[in-house]
Amino acid sequence: MTAFFRALSAELLKTKRTLTVWLTLLAPLSMMLLVLALYFQQGEQRAQQDDLWHMLIQTSLVLWSLLMLPLFVTLETGLLSALEHHNKTWKQLYALPVPRWAVYASKQVIALGLIGLSMIFLAAMTVGVGLLFRVIKPAWSFGAPIPWATLVQSVTLGYLASWLIVSLHLWVSARWPSFVVAMGVGIVTTVASVIVINSDWAKVYPWTLPGWVARGSLQGETFAVSLALGVVGGVAIALVGGWDVIRRDVL
Amino acid sequence: MTTLTRALSAEVLKTKRTLTLWLVILAPLAIAFLEFVMDMQMGLRALRSNSDAWLSLTQNSLILWALLMLPLFVTLETGLLNAQEHGNKMWKQLYATPLPRWAVYAAKQLIGLALVGLSTLNLMVMSLGVGFLLNLLKPEFGFVPPIDWAAIVPAYTLVYLAAWLIISLHLWVSARWPSFVVAMGVGIAATVAGVMVINSDWAKVYPWTLPGLASIGYMEGDAIAAQAALGFLGGIVVALAGGWDVTRRDVL
């Protein structure tokens, strides 16, 4: 365990003050600014709706989980691994008196931490957008109490369901040195998920799981299997991916 | 002009046998594969956007391509063209060769345009290939001749021409900022935004929705001249402005 914490603290040092960390803020921000602008532009239509909090949470969470999150996960895990690939530091890392698994495990934990952080920002910004409308558009139904329980529950579940793609993309980016492979896989699977979300496969396709679970939790549909697949699959792939990456020779 | 040809030939050499070039096949292949699986799975429900099966197929492929794959593909390709120089700190050396700086940027712009053009062509061929394949497997889908070339070829041409603006924008971003993260981040944010913008009034002027609007609009008989012109001419203007900005900057 000590070895793991040492590896983790080294990872944290390497991540601090990088664009990788800033992205956890910028990714939800860029999306929420647009949501804000669009709600503003559709003013007349919005003024007549009576459950705007729920609608806002759904808009931002579904858009996030379906499109932004998979691409964001690809980029973040790609960057965590590219740090070592580009500077050819795997060799040095593995020469340290830290077991190899600790290096991979700490990257996995950092990746999960970064994604979790971004979703906390997303939830906070969603509330922020709603509160802003409460002030500038008092006539809209944002005057209703903030549905904290719904928000926290759906964001948490969406996050847990994303563990599988976090593990998958971390493995891909660590296994293949080329950043293009990492990005290519992420782009193709994300584009595919836009089709898959409307099919029966959405329940089991890793890249639609966060969106499926978040939507299910908001609309009161069943999502237990998808959630379990996301979490358990995430842990399983992390173990398999770690096993695969650390047993490989590095150049 | 000789200098541009020389810079171009160097760029072509650097691009040959890279993953950058393979992506030109792989990106449209992914779309064609998705289209195939979707049609096999959903059957005629997936092909009801038009009474002609070929046109429905074209429309489905174009929507996916123009709205999602193309912007991300452009981001990745232009990012790679410039990362080649940023990553290896080659700008200095390039600028020290007896070529005007503008020729280097212009060559990259041309390669960027060519890569995207090639991928669009591949998409058309592969998408029609999916139609022929479906005709063998599921004759009831109605993929029978004649193919309405007069509707299909202009649609693919428009999706390409209207994409010039985003190609120029992303080439500039990736050349201007050495970080690959900036290039990818801008592309991802702009693409995700495009999915929201497409249903609003801003879609007519938002660069990342122009290719989709121009091509799908054309197939549905809307007036799309303004969008196509904005994408195409805007692309030329931004290429010139971007080239001016990048070449006048000092390199480290």
| Predicted local distance difference test score (pLDDT) of residue B163 | 97
Task: Assess whether pLDDT exceeds 90 at residue B140.
Answer: no
What DSSP string runs through A62-108?
HHIIIIIHHHHHHHHHHHHHHHHHHTT-HHHHHHSSS-HHHHHHHHH
Task: Assess whether pLDDT exceeds 80 at residue B49.
Answer: no
More confident residue, B48 or A36: A36
| Predicted local distance difference test score (pLDDT) of residue A216 | 92
Query: Number of folded domains in chain B?
Result: 1
| Predicted local distance difference test score (pLDDT) of residue B199 | 86
Nearest to A40 by CA among B202, B181, B146, B59: B202
Of A26, A34, A63, the CB nearest to B185: A26
- ipTM of this complex: 0.90
Considering chain B, what percentage of its residues have pLDDT values greater than 70? Answer: 100
Provide the mean pLDDT of chain A. Answer: 93
Task: Assess whether pLDDT exceeds 90 at residue B208.
Answer: yes
Nearest to A233 by CA among A163, A159, A158: A163
Give contacts of A77 with chain B, Cβ < 8 Å: none
| Predicted local distance difference test score (pLDDT) of residue B146 | 87
| Predicted local distance difference test score (pLDDT) of residue A118 | 97
Please tell me if residue B157 touches chain A, with a CB cutoff of 8 Å. no
Task: Assess whether pLDDT exceeds 80 at residue B44.
Answer: no
Of A34, A86, A188, the CB nearest to B193: A34
Start-end of H helices in chain B: 2-15, 19-42, 53-64, 70-87, 91-96, 101-137, 149-161, 164-176, 180-197, 210-219, 225-248
Which positions 17-56 of B are in contact with A (Cβ < 8 Å)?
Answer: 19-20, 23, 26-27, 30-31, 34, 38, 41-42
B151-189 confidence digits (pLDDT tens): 999 999 999 999 999 999 999 999 999 999 999 999 999
Distance from CA of B188 to the nearest CA of A (A): 7
Task: Assess whether pLDDT exceeds 80 at residue B46.
Answer: no
| Tally of CA atoms within 13 A in the half-sphere of A169 that contains its CB | 34
Task: Assess whether pLDDT exceeds 90 at residue A155.
Answer: yes
Residue B226 is encoded by which pair of tokens?
Answer: 């303004």
Task: Assess whether pLDDT exceeds 80 at residue A180.
Answer: yes
| Tally of CA atoms within 13 A in the half-sphere of A179 that contains its CB | 22
| Predicted local distance difference test score (pLDDT) of residue B251 | 84
Mutation for testing the B interface, residue in A195, A196, A204 having most B CBs under 10 Å: A195
Do B20 and A20 make contact, defined as CB atoms within 8 angstroms? Answer: no
- Determine which of A30-44, A117-131, B25-39, B180-194 has the lowest per-residue pLDDT on average: A30-44
| Predicted local distance difference test score (pLDDT) of residue A121 | 97
Task: Assess whether pLDDT exceeds 90 at residue B1.
Answer: no
Domain with B220, as residue range(s), is 2-248
Average pLDDT of the segment spanning A40-54: 86
Mutation for testing the B interface, residue in A23, A32, A56, A187 having most B CBs under 10 Å: A187
**Closest residue of A to B38, CA-based?**
A195
